[in-house]
Copies of this chain bind each other. A is one copy, B any other.
Amino acid sequence: MKKQHISNEIRKLRFLNDEMTQQQLADEVGVTRQTIVAIEKGKYPPTLEISFRIAAVFSLPLEEVFQYHPENDEFKKRKSDKSCR
């Protein structure tokens, strides 16, 4: 029932960033290592708050850490495509 609509670069970024360990990242973000493991492996989508914190640790915009793939999302195709501004 759950495809993967959100991918992330966390593991890659950890290594680019001084070989940071899961535990270090967890500490910086303020969560447990388990949470990092689960998010890193895409076990479940994190809270927006934690997502922002992770991106902040890497000094990157959120969307360079997490990517949304609407094509895998059951709520993909909007009938009306009104965009804003």
Q: Given the known A-B contacts A61-B63, A62-B63, A75-B29, are A49 and B5 also in contact in the complex, defined by CB atoms under 8 Å?
A: yes
Q: Which residues of chain B are within 8 angstroms of A57 by Cβ–Cβ distance?
A: 78
Give chain A's interface residues, CB within 8 Å of chain B: 5-6, 13, 16-18, 28-30, 45-49, 51-53, 55-63, 66, 68, 70, 73-75, 78, 81-85
Please report the C-alpha to C-alpha distance between residue A62 and residue B71 in the assembled complex, in whole angstroms: 17
Among candidates B29, B60, B83, residue contacting A84 with C-beta atoms closer than 8 Å: B60
B68 touches A56 (CB 8 A): yes
A52 touches B84 (CB 8 A): no
A13 touches B84 (CB 8 A): yes
Among candidates B13, B58, B66, B81, residue contacting A59 with C-beta atoms closer than 8 Å: B81
Q: Output the least CB separation between A83 and chain B (Å).
A: 4
Q: Which residues of chain B are within 8 angstroms of A74 by Cβ–Cβ distance?
A: 30
